[in-house]
């Protein structure tokens, strides 16, 4: 799940490198070698079948040779392939189920799916585009200077670009659910890999928005002009996104290899955002003049401290879940809040201890405010169909494609 351990030889021995994860990336799936030309022979022009096959094989070669790290090259190849692939989905050509498309895991090479449906191929391609975009955001959020100081030095520009990439990835995933999965027959959807089920896709889409908000909150914490109200709103929005992601994933089968790890990541981020939301809500309540305001504020600070402690345990469980990963050094808002929350909780509970004794009836945790969500997935649409599909005179073995299909239909009717 975006965290396959890399192994390399040193002095004849293999050393395991445990990767760092900032942005959670699903397991990478790539096309497996398939003889598209043979399966499409007699159905479409030879040059078009050759082009489809060549583009697909190019994706396989680049992904395998680079381990998926050549993101710009892969993105270009996927977009070009997608524009040609779309022709197979058009009902007027009758080719939707004519080819079996095979996909495999990049990490271990195991085949995950073999489906004779062109919309499955579109789904897999757009999903891979989302995975590559999430990988790009993860790379941006991991500093190149591994000095061991524990301080994360990622520029504000990199953080803003990472937010844009997260919105783009969310848009890809939303498109998969909204426009592609609905075109795949139910009997085929049941056979899809778990990471292509609608609940999983929606969960990753929401968590991408949540991580984008997490980065924005970190930028707000570093900005002297950002008000407490802005920080509270961002923390509450982040909490909502991860709540939605948890709801989507809880309805899925998460007993597979990466499912449980995915759920622990969402729990970890959910708890972090909840602690931040209660902390900033407490700071705002504490500005009130009534004793009840201070009591409610202390309740918020104490809740934030307890939830922060739970988040640390969730983070550890996530890291230890297979495949093993490591959490990044504290960064963004959490670098600030891991120090401030315990400090403020202790100070304010001592300061207003007498009020807590006098106003025991008021010792209830206040509800967090709800806000309209700011981030939205980028709108994604499929590219224009390649002009090669618009050719008026398709010659396939001495007859036009339309005649070929008509003949096939006539043969079926007379059988």
pLDDT tens digits, residue range 217-238? Answer: 999 999 999 999 999 999 999 9
The phi and psi torsions of 44 (rounded to 5 degrees) equal -135, 165
Residue 412 has pLDDT above 80, yes or no: no
Query: Under DSSP, is residue 414 helix (H, G, I), strand (E, B) or coil?
Result: helix
**Predicted local distance difference test score (pLDDT) of residue 361:** 52
User: Average pLDDT for residues 325-342, to the nearest whole number?
Assistant: 92
List residues bridging with 111 in a β-sheet. Answer: 104
Euclidean distance between CA atoms 106 and 30, whole angstroms: 6
Euclidean distance between CA atoms 41 and 362, whole angstroms: 77
The highest-level CATH class for domain 21-142+152-196 is mainly alpha
CB 288 within 8 A of CB 294: yes
**Predicted local distance difference test score (pLDDT) of residue 148:** 54
Euclidean distance between CA atoms 315 and 326, whole angstroms: 9
Q: Is there a cis peptide before residue 217, judged by omega within 30 degrees of 0?
A: no
The phi and psi torsions of 331 (rounded to 5 degrees) equal -145, 170
Query: Under DSSP, is residue 123 helix (H, G, I), strand (E, B) or coil?
Result: helix
Euclidean distance between CA atoms 190 and 167, whole angstroms: 28
Indicate yes or no: pTM above 0.85: yes
User: Average pLDDT for residues 382-399, to the nearest whole number?
Assistant: 69
Please indicate whether residue 13 or residue 24 has the higher confidence score (pLDDT): 24
What's the angle, vertex CA 362, arms to CA 358 and CA 364, rounded to 5?
Answer: 135
Euclidean distance between CA atoms 141 and 162, whole angstroms: 7
Domain residue ranges of the chain, discontinuous segments joined by +: 21-142+152-196
Q: Kindly state the tokens that stand for 263.
A: 């759920």
Residue 360 has pLDDT above 50, yes or no: yes
**Predicted local distance difference test score (pLDDT) of residue 191:** 87
Neighbours of 282 (CB within 10 A): 26
**Predicted local distance difference test score (pLDDT) of residue 145:** 59
Q: For tokens 């790290």, what's the residue?
A: 69
CB 223 within 8 A of CB 332: no
Q: Is 56 exposed, middle or buried (0-12, 13-18, 19+ CB in 10 A)?
A: buried
Tens of pLDDT, residue by residue over 226-280, are 999 999 999 999 999 999 999 999 988 777 668 899 999 999 999 999 999 999 9
Euclidean distance between CA atoms 92 and 88, whole angstroms: 9
């Amino acid at each position: 799940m975006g965290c396959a351990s890399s192994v390399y030889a040193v002095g004849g021995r293999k050393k395991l490198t445990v990767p760092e994860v900032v942005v959670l990336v699903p397991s990478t799936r790539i096309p497996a070698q398939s003889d598209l030309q043979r399966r499409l022979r007699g159905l479409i022009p030879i040059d078009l079948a050759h082009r489809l096959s060549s583009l697909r094989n190019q994706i396989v070669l680049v992904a395998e040779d680079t381990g998926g790290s050549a993101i710009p090259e892969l993105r270009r190849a996927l977009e070009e392939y997608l524009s040609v692939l779309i022709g197979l989905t058009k009902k007027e050509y009758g080719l939707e189920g004519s080819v079996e498309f095979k996909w495999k895991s990049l990490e271990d090479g195991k085949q995950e799916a073999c489906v004779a449906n062109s919309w499955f191929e579109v789904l897999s391609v757009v999903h891979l585009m989302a995975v590559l975009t999430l990988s790009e955001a993860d790379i941006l959020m991991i500093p190149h200077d591994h000095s061991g100081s524990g301080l994360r030095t990622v520029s504000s520009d990199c953080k803003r670009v990472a937010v844009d990439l997260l919105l783009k990835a969310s848009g890809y995933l939303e498109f998969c659910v909204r426009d592609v999965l609905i075109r795949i027959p139910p009997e085929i959807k049941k056979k899809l890999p778990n990471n292509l089920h609608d609940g999983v896709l929606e969960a990753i889409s929401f968590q991408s928005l949540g991580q984008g908000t997490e980065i924005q909150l970190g930028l707000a914490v570093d900005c002297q002009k950002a008000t407490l109200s802005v920080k509270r709103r961002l923390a509450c929005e982040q909490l909502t996104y991860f709540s939605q992601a948890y709801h989507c994933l809880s309805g899925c089968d998460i007993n597979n290899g990466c499912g449980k790890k995915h759920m622990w990541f969402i729990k970890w981020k959910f708890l972090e955002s909840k602690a931040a939301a209660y902390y900033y809500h407490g700071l705002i309540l504490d500005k009130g003049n009534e004793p009840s305001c201070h009591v409610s504020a202390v309740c918020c600070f104490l809740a934030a401290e307890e939830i922060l402690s739970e988040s640390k345990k969730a983070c550890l469980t996530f890291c230890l879940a297979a495949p093993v990963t490591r959490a990044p050094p504290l960064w963004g808002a959490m670098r600030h809040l891991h120090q401030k929350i315990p400090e403020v909780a202790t100070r304010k509970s001592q300061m207003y201890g007498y009020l807590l004794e006098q106003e025991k009836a008021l010792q209830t945790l206040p509800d967090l405010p709800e806000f309209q969500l700011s981030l939205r997935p980028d709108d994604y649409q499929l590219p224009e169909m390649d002009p090669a599909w618009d050719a008026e005179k398709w010659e396939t073995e001495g007859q036009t494609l339309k005649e070929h299909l008509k003949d096939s239909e006539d043969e079926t009717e007379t059988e």
